[in-house]
Structure 1
Amino acid sequence: MNTIKHVFFDLDNTLWDFRKNARFALAELYIKYDVENRYGFTFEEFHPHYHESNEGLWALIRDKKITKEELRARRFKEAFDNLGIDNDALARIFEDEYMETITNYNEVVDGAMELLNYLKPKYKLHIITNGFIEVSKRKIETSDLNGYFDTVTYADEIQILKPDPRIYSYAMEKSGANKKESIYIGDDWIADAVGAKAFGMSAIFFDRLDDNFEMDDVPTIKHLDEVRKFL
């Protein structure tokens, strides 16, 4: 991979630890609104329902089956309904406050800063994210990730989500990069690895959840420090 000049990253769960920060934010809201005392369910009982709802809805967004507005309307309602809490008003409060609360927490994925410090002197660094634009901006600007990236491409800018090749094309134009001199690193097999390869970029799959997907010419890593073997 000695022709690589540009390294593109996914944001959530590749660099910015969405799962960890989301858990912190949700625990804060759960206490704030006294959910356990009001309904008898602990946060540990609630959290898997939120995780299942959120992950499933983001997959539907990626597959162009729902909009982000539908995700926001459904994820907490579904989580509370599945837990056994019938309170749509509470679900709306959680959604309204969650987007702000989550950026109060800025844990990055283990090894992220060490990798960025290693790559920064050698390559142009970029991000392509499907996340909500205003929230994603705050995630970067208020965390240790700030200042490392030459460009950040937000799906909301052009209303096109990974793995659609048009978002990769837009990122190339925005960054001045050439796809033959670029590589993409992300934790979502479809949106990141498959999407980048379909566009014609090299890709590295960050398999944080042990999904064990495979594709020719797509290396799999389990920890970010393994990127150094390729770049």
Structure 2
Amino acid sequence: MENIRHIFFDLDNTLWDYRRNAKITLAKLFEEFQIKEKHAYTFEEFYPFYYESNESLWADLRDKKVTKDELRARRFPEAFAGLGIENASFAMDFEERFVNEVTNSNYVVEGAEELLEYLKDKYTIHILSNGFEEVTHWKIEKSIIKDYIDTITTAEGAGAPKPDPIAFQTSLDKAGATKEESIYIGDDWIADMIGATTFGMNAIFFNPLNENHMWIEEVPIVGQLIQLKKYL
């Protein structure tokens, strides 16, 4: 990978620890909305329903089965419905608070700061995320990641989510980069690896949860961010 000059990272769960930050925010809101007191359910009972709803809807957004607005309108109503709590206005209030407050917790994935510090003098670093435009910028601006990033491209800004080639081309154009001198690193096999390699871009799969996936011979796999030093 000697010709690489530009590194494009996914954001959520690749650099910015979405799972951890979201869980902290959800637990705080769960307490503030007094859900245990009013409905006799614990946060531990609620969280799996949220996780399933959120993961499923983000996969649907990636696959163009739902829009951003549909994801936001369904995520918490579906999660709370799993507990038998069906109150649309309450669920949307929870959604608004969550989106506005999730960036108040800004943990990065283990090894992210060390890796970015290692890469910053060797490469130009960019973000290409399927996340919401405004929230993606908040996440970066409020975290240590901002000190290392040159350009930020979101699916919303590109007009198409990864794995659509439009998302990758838009990010390259914004960065003034070419496929041949670029590499993509992310944790979603379909959006990131299938997307990048189909587009004709080098890629490395970050797989900290050791999830099952297909196999592409030319795509290295790492379980820890710091292991990327071996390739970069």
Same fold, judged at TM 0.5 (above): yes
Q: Is the 8 A contact 2:158 2:166 kept in 1?
A: no
Task: Give the Cα separation in 2 of the matches to 1:70 and 1:167.
Answer: 20
**C-alpha separation in 2, matches of 1:216 and 1:91:** 44
Q: Which amino acid aligns with 2:183?
A: I
Give the Cα separation in 1 of the matches to 2:44 and 2:5. 44
CA deviations 1:79-104 (Å, max 9, x no partner) are 00012212222211111111011011
| DSSP 3-state at the match of 2:146 | coil
Secondary structure in 1 aligned to 2:54? Answer: helix
Local SS of the residue matching 1:152: strand
> Which deviates more from structure 2 when the two are superposed, residues 180-189 or residues 81-90?
81-90
In 1, Cα distance between the equivalents of 2:111 and 2:216? 24
1:182 maps to which residue? 182
Q: Which moved more, 1:41-50 or 1:77-86?
A: 77-86
Secondary structure at 1:184 match in 2: strand
2:228 corresponds to: 227
2:169 & 2:183 partners in 1: Cα distance? 13
Residue deviations 1:47-72, cap 9 Å, x none? 11000000000000100111111110
Counterpart code for 1:5: R
Question: What's the offset of the Cα at 1:172?
Answer: 0.9
Percent of pairs with identical residues: 53
**Aligned-partner Cα distance in 2 for 1:13–1:124:** 20
Q: In the alignment, which residue of structure 2 is the partner of 1:215? A: 216
Question: How far did 1:209 drift?
Answer: 2.1
Deviation of 1:195 (Å): 0.3
Write the distance in 1 (CA, Å) between the matches of 2:212 and 2:33. 39
Mapped pair 1:19 → 2:19: yes
2:40 aligns with 40
1:124-147 residue CA offsets vs partner (Å, 9 max, x unmatched) = 100001101111101000111112
Which position in structure 1 is the counterpart of 2:159? 159
Equivalent residue number for residue 123 of structure 1: 123
The letter of the residue matching 1:90 is F
Root-mean-square deviation (CA, aligned residues, Å) is 0.8
Structure 1 stretches of 4+ with a deviation exceeding 4 A read none
Does residue 144 in structure 1 map to residue 144 in structure 2? yes
- Spell out the pairing of 1:56-75 with structure 2 (5 A cutoff): 56-75=56-75
Mapped to 2, the partners of 1:90 and 1:29 lie a distance apart of 12
